[in-house]
Structure 1
Amino acid sequence: MGDYGHPLAFGAFLTPGNAEPGRVVGLAVLAEQVGFDLVTFQDHPYQPAFLDTWTLMSFVAARTGTVRLAANVTNLPLRPPAVLARSVASLDLLSGGRVELGLGAGAFWEAIEAMGGRRLSPGQGVRALTEAIDVIRQVWDVEARGGVRVDGEFHRVVGAKRGPAPAHDVGIWLGAYKPRMLALTGSRADGWLPSLGYLQPGDLGRGNTIIDDAAREAGRDPADVRRLLNVTGRFATVGRGPLDGPAEQWAEELADLALSDGISTFILGSDDPEDLRRFAAEVAPAVRELVAGERAAGAAAAVTPATPEAVGARATPGGAGAQPSPAPRPPAGAGSFAVVPTPDDGVRRSAIRVWDEATRPTGPAPDPARTYPPHDQAGAQHLIDVHDGLRAELTRLYDLVEQVGAGLVDAGTARSHINTMTIRQNKWTLGTYCESYCRVVTTHHTLEDRGIFPHLRRGDDRLAPVLDRLEQEHHAIHDVLERVDRALVAFVSVSDGMAELRAAVDLLSDTLLSHLAYEERELVEPIARLGLH
Structure 2
Amino acid sequence: MSDYGHPLQFGSFITPTAGDPTRVVALTVLAEQAGLDLVTYQDHPYQPGFLDTWTLLSYAAARTDRVHLAANVTNLPLRPPAVLARSVASLDLLSGGRIELGLGAGAFWDAIEAMGTTRLTAGQAVRALEEGIDVIRQLWDTGARGGVRVDGEFHRVVGAKRGPAPAHDVGIWLGAYKPRMLALTGRRADGWLPSLAYLQDGDLAAGNRIIDEATLEAGRKPADVRRLLNIGGRFTDIGRGPLQGPAEQWAEELTDLALTDGIGTFILATDDPDDLRRFAAEVAPAVREAVAAERSGSTATRQEREGTTATRQEREGTTATRQERESTTATRQERPGSINTGPTSAPVRVAGRSPFTVAPTKDDGVRRSSTVVWDEQARPTGPTPDPERTYTPRELANGRHLIEVHDGLRGELAQIHDLIDQVEAGRIDVGTARSHINTMTMRQNNWTLGTYCESYCRIVTTHHTIEDRSLFPHLRRSDPRLAPVVDRLEQEHHVIHEVLEGVDKALVEMVSGPGGTAGLRAAVDLLTDTLLSHLAYEERELIEPLARLGAQ
Scaled by the length of structure 2, the TM-score of the pair is 0.69
Matched, 1:338 2:360: no
Q: CA deviation at 1:473?
A: 5.4
Q: CA deviation at 1:412?
A: 5.6
Q: CA deviation at 1:82?
A: 0.8
Name the counterpart of 2:451: 424
How far apart, in 2, do the equivalents of 1:488 and 1:154 lie? 60
How far apart, in 2, do the equivalents of 1:211 and 1:476 lie? 57
**Match for 1:426: what amino acid?**
C
Matched, 1:406 2:418: yes
Q: CA deviation at 1:266?
A: 1.9
- Range moving further from structure 2, 151-160 or 88-97: 88-97
Q: CA deviation at 1:201?
A: 0.4
8 Å CA contact 2:149, 2:157 repeated in 1:
yes
Secondary structure of the 1:406 match is helix
Task: Describe the shift of the 1:233–1:449 C-alpha distance in structure 2 as closer, same or farther (beyond 3 A).
Answer: closer
8 Å CA contact 2:489, 2:538 repeated in 1:
yes
Task: Describe the shift of the 1:235–1:21 C-alpha distance in structure 2 as closer, same or farther (beyond 3 A).
Answer: same
Task: Describe the shift of the 1:87–1:283 C-alpha distance in structure 2 as closer, same or farther (beyond 3 A).
Answer: closer
Matched, 1:349 2:362: yes
Which of 497, 508, 532 is the matching residue for 1:502? 532
Correspondences of 1:105-144 after superposition (within 5 Å) = 105-144=105-144
8 Å CA contact 1:171, 1:191 repeated in 2:
yes
How far apart, in 2, do the equivalents of 1:38 and 1:420 lie? 28
Correspondences of 1:67-82 after superposition (within 5 Å) = 67-82=67-82
Name the counterpart of 2:518: none
Correspondences of 1:223-242 after superposition (within 5 Å) = 223-242=223-242
Task: Describe the shift of the 1:346–1:51 C-alpha distance in structure 2 as closer, same or farther (beyond 3 A).
Answer: closer
Name the counterpart of 2:405: 393
Task: Describe the shift of the 1:136–1:495 C-alpha distance in structure 2 as closer, same or farther (beyond 3 A).
Answer: closer
How far apart, in 2, do the equivalents of 1:417 and 1:343 lie? 32
Task: Describe the shift of the 1:404–1:14 C-alpha distance in structure 2 as closer, same or farther (beyond 3 A).
Answer: same
How far apart, in 2, do the equivalents of 1:215 and 1:478 lie? 60
Query: Which runs of no fewer than 5 residues in structure 1 stay unpaired?
Result: 303-335, 367-379, 456-465, 524-531
8 Å CA contact 1:61, 1:69 repeated in 2:
yes
Task: Describe the shift of the 1:348–1:173 C-alpha distance in structure 2 as closer, same or farther (beyond 3 A).
Answer: same
Matched, 1:295 2:321: no
8 Å CA contact 1:40, 1:72 repeated in 2:
yes
Name the counterpart of 1:462: none
How far apart, in 2, do the equivalents of 1:261 and 1:412 lie? 38
Query: Which runs of no fewer than 5 residues in structure 2 stay unpaired?
Result: 300-348, 365-375, 421-432, 504-521
8 Å CA contact 1:190, 1:224 repeated in 2:
yes
- Range moving further from structure 2, 28-37 or 147-156: 28-37
How far apart, in 2, do the equivalents of 1:495 and 1:219 lie? 58
Correspondences of 1:326-475 after superposition (within 5 Å) = 338=351, 344=357, 346=359, 349-350=362-363, 359-360=385-386, 362=388, 389-407=401-419, 413-414=439-440, 415-417=442-444, 424=451, 426=453, 435=457, 438-443=460-465, 472=481
Q: CA deviation at 1:21?
A: 4.0
Q: CA deviation at 1:79?
A: 0.6
8 Å CA contact 1:101, 1:173 repeated in 2:
yes
Correspondences of 1:299-338 after superposition (within 5 Å) = 299=296, 301=298, 338=351
Secondary structure of the 1:100 match is strand
Matched, 1:286 2:283: yes
How far apart, in 2, do the equivalents of 1:485 and 1:223 lie? 50
8 Å CA contact 2:187, 2:214 repeated in 1:
yes
Task: Describe the shift of the 1:107–1:481 C-alpha distance in structure 2 as closer, same or farther (beyond 3 A).
Answer: farther
Secondary structure of the 1:398 match is helix
**Match for 1:126: what amino acid?**
V
Matched, 1:147 2:169: no
Name the counterpart of 1:306: none
How far apart, in 2, do the equivalents of 1:203 and 1:341 lie? 47
Q: Deviations over 1:478-533 (max 9, x none)?
A: 8558657745754744584335543443444555555555568xx9xxxxxxxx9x
Name the counterpart of 1:185: 185
Q: CA deviation at 1:254?
A: 2.0
Secondary structure of the 1:12 match is strand
How many residues are treated as equivalent by the alignment?
455
How far apart, in 2, do the equivalents of 1:159 and 1:515 lie? 66
How far apart, in 1, do the equivalents of 2:448 and 2:180 lie? 43
Task: Describe the shift of the 1:381–1:82 C-alpha distance in structure 2 as closer, same or farther (beyond 3 A).
Answer: same
**Match for 2:286: what amino acid?**
E
Q: CA deviation at 1:231?
A: 1.3
- Range moving further from structure 2, 495-504 or 112-121: 495-504
Q: CA deviation at 1:420?
A: 9.7
Task: Describe the shift of the 1:468–1:28 C-alpha distance in structure 2 as closer, same or farther (beyond 3 A).
Answer: closer
Secondary structure of the 2:139 match is helix
**Match for 2:224: what amino acid?**
D
Q: Deviations over 1:18-59 (max 9, x none)?
A: 344444334434434444332222211222333222122223
Q: CA deviation at 1:206?
A: 1.6
Q: CA deviation at 1:299?
A: 2.0
Name the counterpart of 1:6: 6
How far apart, in 2, do the equivalents of 1:67 and 1:138 lie? 27
Name the counterpart of 2:370: none
Secondary structure of the 2:166 match is coil
Secondary structure of the 1:84 match is helix
**Match for 1:293: what amino acid?**
A
Name the counterpart of 1:173: 173
How far apart, in 1, do the equivalents of 2:222 and 2:243 lie? 28
Paired-residue identity, %: 53
**Match for 2:386: what amino acid?**
R
8 Å CA contact 1:34, 1:277 repeated in 2:
no
Secondary structure of the 1:24 match is helix
8 Å CA contact 1:228, 1:263 repeated in 2:
yes
Secondary structure of the 2:176 match is coil
8 Å CA contact 1:92, 1:167 repeated in 2:
yes
Q: CA deviation at 1:360?
A: 1.9
Q: CA deviation at 1:181?
A: 1.6
**Match for 2:274: what amino acid?**
R
Q: CA deviation at 1:83?
A: 0.3
Name the counterpart of 2:513: none
**Match for 1:270: what amino acid?**
T
How far apart, in 2, do the equivalents of 1:32 and 1:284 lie? 12
Secondary structure of the 2:419 match is coil
**Match for 1:338: what amino acid?**
A
How far apart, in 2, do the equivalents of 1:4 and 1:342 lie? 36
Scaled by the length of structure 1, the TM-score of the pair is 0.71
Q: CA deviation at 1:84?
A: 0.4
Name the counterpart of 2:58: 58
Secondary structure of the 1:237 match is coil
